[in-house]
Each structure stands twice: as C-alpha cells, then as structure tokens.
Amino acid sequence: MTDSFKDEALSNQNKSKVTQDLLKGISDRLSGRTDCANLTYTVDISVKGVAMTPLIYVYPDKHRRMPSDKLDIISYVHRYKFQDIMLDQLEFGTYIYATNEYSKKRRWMRVA
C-alpha cells in the first residue's frame, strides 16, 4: 500500500471511531430515562451539522435544574463530553438507535 492509501485508511478508521464515540455519548446519557425507553433516535450527520430526532432536552448535571439550564442532547454531548470534535472528524450519514430483529438490545446502525 502506498502512504496515501494508509493515511486515508487511518483517517476513515478514526472518523468511524469518533462518530461511534459521539453516538455512544448520546445513548449513554439517555439510557436511564424512562421516557426514552422505547424511542427510536435518529441522528443525521451532514455538512450542515448534527441533528437528532426526536429533539430531547437534558440538564447538565443533578445540581443545575433550572429550566434555563436545559440543553438539547447534541449540545450537551458536544459541550461536556467531546469539546474538541469538529464536523470534519465525523463520518457523514444517518444513524438510528433501535433494536435489531435478532436481539432485544438497542444499537446504533448506519442507514445511509
């Protein structure tokens, strides 16, 4: 393999890992919420940014519970977990967090 192929392969592997870490940060934060138990999350990562449906708001921590402290989950994960992630470090596509047909566990799956 040439050096450019190696660099591109490492870059794609790194993008995939960073994207999976971001998605895991979202699902970890929402995993204990009973109101989110049967929801299917959809995250769209594109040139325009990262968007999630349904839009879910969370508090930053257990001590700050004012209505003005609420953040949408994407802002929370970016601000408190992955401050140094840039959009060009993510793998573009649409991801869903749902159960697959073989297991009762929910997982992130790339749709497009």
How big is the chain, counted in residues? 112
Domain ranges of the chain: 3-110
Region class of 43: left (phi > 0), else alpha (psi between -120 and 50), else beta: beta
Residues with Cβ within 8 Å of 43's Cβ and at least 6 positions away in sequence, in order, are 23, 26, 50, 51, 52, 94, 95, 96, 97
Q: 0.85 cut: is pTM over it?
A: no
Residue 6 reports pLDDT greater than 50: no
Share of the chain residues as helix, strand and coil, in percent rounded to the nearest 5 = 40, 25, 35
Per-residue pLDDT tens for 79-97? 888 888 888 889 999 999 9
